[in-house]
Structure 1
Amino acid sequence: MYHKLKHRVYQILEGGDDSGLIGKCVNVFIIVLILTNVAAIILETEAGIYDVYAGYFQAFEVFSVAVFSIEYLLRVWVCTEYAEYSRPVLGRLRYMTSLMALIDLLAIIPFYLPMFIPVNLRVLRLLRIFRVFRLLKLARYTDAVDTIIRVINERKAELSITLFVGAILLIISSTLVYYAEFEAQPDKFSSIIATMWWSIITLLTVGYGDVYPITPVGRFFGALTAVFGIAMFALPAGLISSGFMEELNRQKAAKTVVICPHCGKNLTHPPEKAGAEAPVIIVKQADERSKR
């Protein structure tokens, strides 16, 4: 009875095809609760709204934390249903240190900390900022976020190289512009570290205009930095977009079942990867002999 109950709770929280109507309703409820929490965080910053409905905001916060706390405890309880967390103690400890479990914890911990640790108003505001991590809980309930994570993992080597090259360009451009502009603008280019602000906004093609070179040599280096910044912006964008196309094509192929029109055999390889509701494609080959 205990194991059946735990497995059923696991199915409901996962929200798969075997979770039934209850599982789908629970997942929709959690998604709506996350979105309304984000909306509440935004609306609370409007003094005119918060002063009028402060009691409702506080009650909604207590209700949300209660739901998220129950969800977190249940997930820790049923995590042993996963093969990698099957050990009762060590498995749960491993699960509690996983990324999604830490996000779930960050979504509720700011509410409980002031109850046990005395904090001042500034620290309390900082803790309230962490409530925005509730938005990251959507990663568990949306395939889009899962697709983004897979694409980034597949392209992490190329993206790491891009970041490394960007860091080199940042240091080189900051150093060159600092020595070119220090004497002309010692207040704005006071050090290489201070010049990095200009290099970052130039490499990222933002260009706020509050700091800019005025000497001919500084402008020359600034132009080169801007050109390299466009290239640096296009490179990771191209990597990620190509990764998205490959992932979407892979998902589409995995959901397609190819059926032979002659024998009715499943030609999908491997056939077990095709979903139960996958579209069926019947391969048609014209028989020229039969036409004659």
Structure 2
Amino acid sequence: MKNKIRNIVEDNTSRKGKLFDFFIQALILSSLVAFAIETLPNNSNQTIELLNIFEIICVAIFTTEYSLRIYVAKKPLKYIFSFYGIIDFLAIFPFYLTKAYDLRALRAFRVFRIFRTLKLVRYNKALNRFHIAANIVKEEIILFLIVTSIFIFLASSGIYYFENEAQPEIFTSVIHSGWWAVVTLTTVGYGDVYPITVGGKIFTFFYLINWGWNCYHTCRISRECIIKS
């Protein structure tokens, strides 16, 4: 019995496995659409009731699927604490938490229902390539995040040095200057914080050139790693 269930749940090459995959994909997409509709204002009582019923059905099916995956897993604990296991758990956990306790503040946990989108990765080979690519370049990503943090700190310190006297209310400290560093290095540039001194403008110019080169070099290395793999 366990092998038969495993062939349906885990093996998407068989006919039954494909049907199971398509059913789960359709249910995930439908639940996300229902979640979006639920956030609309002025929903009628009938619509709210139908959405609640559909939510219960979805959670019941997802819970059954999660339980079956634990049952057929050769190493249940490994699945539970794996990437997909955590995503499967987060897809149903907020529902039970908000139903178990009558605390309105806990409704914030319903935001975690957006994690159902990540469940699509399991059922789509094309999307699954992103997971494979992430594993390939994970060391480069970690390095990039470290370098980015260093750049943000150095940018915050540098712009504070140049702009503190001219704009003490904006560049009050290195920490306050961090906002400028983030929006500038991410090229968002809201325009609410910007340098006005000559030194600050020159510093920003050369820093952005250096930052752009760093991003280009990191992307090139990551692409080469993916191609080689």
TM over 0.5: yes
For residue 79 of structure 2, the aligned residue among 95, 98, 109 is 95
Structure 1: runs of 5+ lacking an equivalent: 86-91, 248-292
Report the equivalent of 1:199: 181
How far is 1:113 from its partner? 0.8
For residue 8 of structure 1, the aligned residue among 4, 21, 25 is 4
Q: Which moved more, 1:147-156 or 1:169-178?
A: 147-156
Structure 1 contact 31–141 (Cα < 8 Å) conserved: yes
SS of equivalent to 1:140: coil
How far is 1:239 from its partner? 3.7
Structure 1 contact 65–108 (Cα < 8 Å) conserved: yes
- Structure with higher Rg: it is 1
1:112-148 deviation per Cα after TM superposition (whole angstroms, max 9, x unaligned): 01233342x3331x21100000111111111223222
Structure 2: runs of 5+ lacking an equivalent: none
Within 5 A, what are the aligned runs for 1:268-279? Answer: none
Quote the RMSD (CA, aligned, Å).
Answer: 2.0
**Distance (whole Å) between structure 2 residues aligned to residue 16 and residue 64 of structure 1:** 21
SS of equivalent to 2:172: coil
Report the equivalent of 1:71: 65
Report how many aligned residue pairs link the two structures: 229
Within 5 A, what are the aligned runs for 1:203-214? Answer: 203-214=185-196
Structure 2 contact 137–226 (Cα < 8 Å) conserved: no
Report the equivalent of 1:60: 54
Report the equivalent of 1:151: 133
1:10-29 deviation per Cα after TM superposition (whole angstroms, max 9, x unaligned): 11112432x32x22111101
Letter aligned with residue 106 of structure 1: L
**2:117 paired with 1:122:** no
Q: Under a length normalisation based on structure 1, what TM-score does the superposition of the two structures give?
A: 0.72
Q: Which has the higher contact order (CA 8 A, sep 6+)?
A: 2
How far is 1:200 from its partner? 1.3
How far is 1:51 from its partner? 6.1
How far is 1:105 from its partner? 0.6
Q: Percent identity, please.
A: 35
Report the equivalent of 1:229: 211
Structure 1 contact 166–232 (Cα < 8 Å) conserved: no
